[in-house]
Amino acid sequence: MKLKKLFIALLFILAVVALAACGDEEAGGNSGDSEGSDDGEVTLHVAALESAYGSEVWENIAENYEALNENVTIELTTAKNLEEVVRPEMQAGDYPDVFLLATGREEALTETLIKENGIENISDVLTMNVPGEDAAVEDKILEGFTDTLATNPYADGEMYLAPMFYSPTGLFYNEALLENHGWEVPNTWDELFAIGDEAAEEDISLFTYPLAGYFDTLVGSMLYASGGPDFYDSAMTYEDGIWESDEATTVFETIDKLADYTHPNTVANANPNDFTRNQQLILDNEALFMPNGSWVVGEMAEAPRADDFKWGMMPIPAFEDGGDRYAFTFFEQIWIPSEAKNIDAAKEFIAYMYSDEAADTFMEAGAIQPIEGIVDKLDGEQEIYYSIYEEGDVLPAMGTFASTEPVPGASITEELYEKIDSVMSGNITVEEWQQAVEEVSDQLRPAMN
């Protein structure tokens, strides 16, 4: 009997020890706490797309952040083909802690993780203090940048992707060409087409575009101008019949009319290998206007150009006299995978992105952060482009399509933008294009996350 009691007591002790061990294991698991060494040191894996701003800027950011946080070591991965570099590691379960990788990329890695609910909710970053400063993140980010489907992809008021380097977009042109012909910058589409009629007499095309994908910002601005912000949001959330509405029809028909004014070589050159030839049409005074972003200035910096050439940028024209004009703001995004091992440390790093120190570092590389007072630090052409919203009737347009579960064969960006080449070349009618967009919108509506 005594032996039996002793045996039961031993079992009880072993059970208590096992429970305590489980508790310790849960406390140290991947619950959002930073996973570091016993002395509190953290190695933070940051994966950033190497874009036109280069990789050195991220090396400088890492060095500055490590100086501010002695317990943090940044393990940096930068590449132009970032998705290809990190995907094998992710498939093996080793995720970066922080991604600088925007939506809209051909590989669609960011969109895939959004659809799979694989991105961490980082709304609390907004209320965090910027490391090294007294201000909260939300007090430094420009108004409106954290309130769009580009940052809140589930339309639930929660931020999953934080806004990074932003660039106003619009129609780019040669100021000298307009001045030499006495053409004023048009405020409405009617004024734009009137210039096109005059330019045609001198064998100058009114319009060109680098790639069909560049219509994402053009169409976005036109949707805002045609129906306002609420209408735009309805289109981005696949509201029934929205693409057959009068407001949407105005946008479709205006783009169809542009086909008659587009340089004849545009569609042939609208591919990843030759798109700069279309941009060169502006530099050579063979075309007047093209949709683009402020990055085009650096992209074509070494290209030959007409005498007295001077870059100009205008917002998208209004549809009527006195109507609002919009300039769509493109911005990149920074985010945290849900499978990251150092979520808390990753949030601190993202908060640092909005510090004056980080913004100045990025600005030296030509990347402009959406923070208060940034325009006051710019000069030259950059100041002109980023001051576009200071014009009285020019408003910012922002956003993108709401996330959906995968629907095989249904891509609204392909239907809405990629088919524009076929519209321009006359292979499909504007009515067929409009119907195709409405049909894919109907497919995606039930699949919204």
Q: Are residues 225 and 254 in the same domain?
A: yes
Which pLDDT does position 115 carry in this prediction?
Answer: 87
Which pLDDT does position 375 carry in this prediction?
Answer: 87
Q: Are residues 252 and 317 in the same domain?
A: yes
Q: Are residues 435 and 408 in the same domain?
A: yes
User: For the whole model, what pTM was predicted?
Assistant: 0.76
Which pLDDT does position 404 carry in this prediction?
Answer: 86
Question: Where does the pLDDT of residue 108 fall: very low under 50, low under 70, confident under 90, or very high at 90 and above?
Answer: confident
53: in domain: yes
How far apart CA 53 and CA 164 sit, in angstroms, is: 13
- Under 8 Å between Cβ of 146 and 399: no
- Under 8 Å between Cβ of 148 and 166: no
Predicted confidence (pLDDT) at residue 400 exceeds the cutoff of 80: yes
Question: Where does the pLDDT of residue 340 fall: very low under 50, low under 70, confident under 90, or very high at 90 and above?
Answer: very high
Per the structure, the count of domains in the chain is 2
State the distance between the two ends of the chain, measured CA to CA, in whole angstroms: 63
The amino acid present at 179, given as its one-letter code, is: E
**H or E element, residue 161:** strand 161-174
Mean pLDDT value of segment 56-68:
97
Joined tokens for residue 71: 């317990």
Residues with Cβ < 8 Å from 255, sequence gap 6 or more?
A: 215, 219, 222, 420, 423, 430
Predicted confidence (pLDDT) at residue 158 exceeds the cutoff of 90: yes
20: in domain: no
Mean pLDDT value of segment 270-278:
94
Mean pLDDT value of segment 443-448:
93
Q: Are residues 60 and 140 in the same domain?
A: yes
Q: Are residues 228 and 304 in the same domain?
A: yes
Which pLDDT does position 208 carry in this prediction?
Answer: 98
Question: Which structural domain, as residue segments, surrounds residue 301?
Answer: 170-328+401-447
Q: Are residues 239 and 174 in the same domain?
A: yes
Mean pLDDT value of segment 208-237:
95
For the CA atoms of 147, 152, 154, 160, the dihedral, rounded to the nearest 10 degrees, stands at: -160
For the chain, what is the mean pLDDT? 89
Mean pLDDT value of segment 132-148:
93
Q: Are residues 211 and 316 in the same domain?
A: yes
180: in domain: yes
Which pLDDT does position 35 carry in this prediction?
Answer: 53
Which pLDDT does position 379 carry in this prediction?
Answer: 81
135: in domain: yes
Q: Are residues 298 and 443 in the same domain?
A: yes
Q: Considering the chain, what percentage of its residues have pLDDT values greater than 90?
A: 72
Question: Where does the pLDDT of residue 5 fall: very low under 50, low under 70, confident under 90, or very high at 90 and above?
Answer: very low
Q: How many degrees, rounded to 5, is the angle at CA 133 between CA 129 and CA 138?
A: 40
49: in domain: yes
Q: Are residues 226 and 253 in the same domain?
A: yes
Nearest to residue 257, comparing CAs of 190, 199, 204, 350?
190
- Under 8 Å between Cβ of 428 and 422: yes
Joined tokens for residue 75: 């393990």
- The better pLDDT of the pair 430, 387 is held by 430
394: in domain: no
For the CA atoms of 35, 38, 40, 46, the dihedral, rounded to the nearest 10 degrees, stands at: -40
308: in domain: yes
Q: Which of 6-10, 71-75, 252-256, 285-289 has the lowest mean pLDDT?
A: 6-10
Which pLDDT does position 39 carry in this prediction?
Answer: 59
How far apart CA 122 and CA 163 sit, in angstroms, is: 12
Which pLDDT does position 128 carry in this prediction?
Answer: 98
- The better pLDDT of the pair 10, 247 is held by 247
Nearest to residue 177, comparing CAs of 52, 311, 375?
311
Q: Are residues 230 and 281 in the same domain?
A: yes
Q: Considering the chain, what percentage of its residues have pLDDT values greater than 70?
A: 91
Mean pLDDT value of segment 5-34:
38
Alpha helices in 173-214 (DSSP H): 175-181, 189-200
CATH number at residue 249: 3.40.190.10
Mean pLDDT value of segment 334-358:
98
Q: Are residues 112 and 232 in the same domain?
A: no
Q: Are residues 358 and 425 in the same domain?
A: no
1: in domain: no
